[in-house]
Amino acid sequence: MKIDGKTRLVGILGDPVAHSLSPGMQNAALASLGLNICYVPLPVEPEQLPEAVAGLRAMQFRGANVTIPHKIAVANLLDSLDVSAVRTGAVNTIVNNDGTLTGHNTDGIGFIRALAEVAKVDFSEAPALILGAGGAARAVAVALAENGCPRITIINRTPERANQLKTLLVSEFPAAEVTVRAWEADLGESLAQNRLVVNATSLGMKSNLKQAWAGVDKLTASHVVCDLVYSTKQTSLLTAAKEKGATLMGGTGMLLHQGAASFKLWTAREAPLDVMRKALEP
Ligand code: NAP
């Protein structure tokens, strides 16, 4: 990559960002198309988010990705929001057009495209169980409702956040049947009633299968099980689902496709998926 006086910047705002796979993936894509843009990690603590966003504008960044814990808070600091960000109430991509910052959310489309790579899902026939109610869960829930999923069940450790997501979904998609179940409720029962299962909590690799996923024995070969945590290793949920013959989706596919959608917003070019996929290989 050649840096010169005309190089534009994009980056990822988060706390922490040192583990992020996005710089490697995005720089490989930018370089392969010969674009004079460089993608940099931008570690920003929550109290410094306003200054960081002002800095993007001041330094004429072309845009940025936004990750934990800023996806919701950043929305209030931007000039406008795309419908994808309004519907989810979360921003994962900022585009800077001549000083006007617009927030987008590409997580939902990233999820749908990644899912399409592992399974042919008729969403109208696929009631879904979503574990979690944070930014990723919101994006997935909205994407599923947009694609005609008729029944969505939400389970979250903090019930208020699950209820907030339900309110958001019901107001945007009155035809969808949305149910909130308690974190302590029988997970096996919820699994048995749904076809698509999405873990959008940040429990990730740390989760202890016995405690966190009691009831996974109710999974079957007709389930499609997604764990959004970014990891090239199999999570304990996916390991249990594999034993039952379920179709599996890890977080890497969603990372790839949300990144490709962000890339297109910044560059107006189709993202080189093969290059990005290769850059994500361990
Ligand atoms: P977030 O907004 O901070 O939400 C975190 C969620 O995890 C909340 O529902 C939270 O529940 C739950 N949670 C956290 N710790 C927990 C625990 N110990 N026990 C039970 N629940 C717990 O984060 P996010 O942006 O939605 O991200 C969630 C996960 O998705 C992360 O692993 C992230 O890396 C992944 N992700 C992946 C992609 C991708 O492209 N693959 C994209 C986005 C996110 P409470 O509400 O009770 O706190």
Tell me which residue has its CA closest to atom 35 in ligand 1: 229
Q: pTM for this one?
A: 0.95
Place of tokens 């790839």: 256
What is the pLDDT at residue 128? 98
What letter represents residue 60's amino acid?
Q
Distance CA 177, CA 147 (A): 14
Residues 228, 254 contacting (CB under 8 angstroms):
yes
In degrees and rounded to multiples of 5, residue 243 shows phi and psi of -60, -30
Q: Which residues make Cβ contacts (< 8 Å) with residue 102, sequence separation at least 6?
A: 78, 79, 80, 81, 82, 94, 95
What is the pLDDT at residue 43? 98
- Pairwise pLDDT comparison (232 vs 9), residue with the higher score: 9
Catalytic (active-site) positions:
71
- pLDDT (tens digit per residue) in 16-53: 999 999 999 999 999 999 999 999 999 999 999 999 99
pLDDT class for 204, splitting at 50, 70, 90? low
pLDDT class for 232, splitting at 50, 70, 90? confident
Domains of the chain: 8-105+254-279 (3.40.50.10860), 108-249 (3.40.50.720)
The pocket around ligand 1, CB under 6 angstroms, is made up of: 68, 71, 107, 110, 132-137, 156-158, 161, 200-204, 228-230, 251, 254-255, 258
Pick from 157, 202, 263 the residue to mutate for probing ligand 1's pocket: most ligand atoms within 8 Å of its CB: 202
Least confident of 39-48, 203-212, 225-234: 203-212
What is the pLDDT at residue 211? 63
What is the pLDDT at residue 203? 78
Calculate how far, in angstroms, residue 69's C-alpha sits from the geometric centre of ligand 1.
Answer: 10
Q: What is the mean pLDDT of the segment spanning 198-215?
A: 74
- pLDDT (tens digit per residue) in 118-170: 999 999 999 999 999 999 999 999 999 999 999 999 999 999 999 999 999 99
What is the pLDDT at residue 231? 76
In degrees and rounded to multiples of 5, residue 106 shows phi and psi of -105, 5
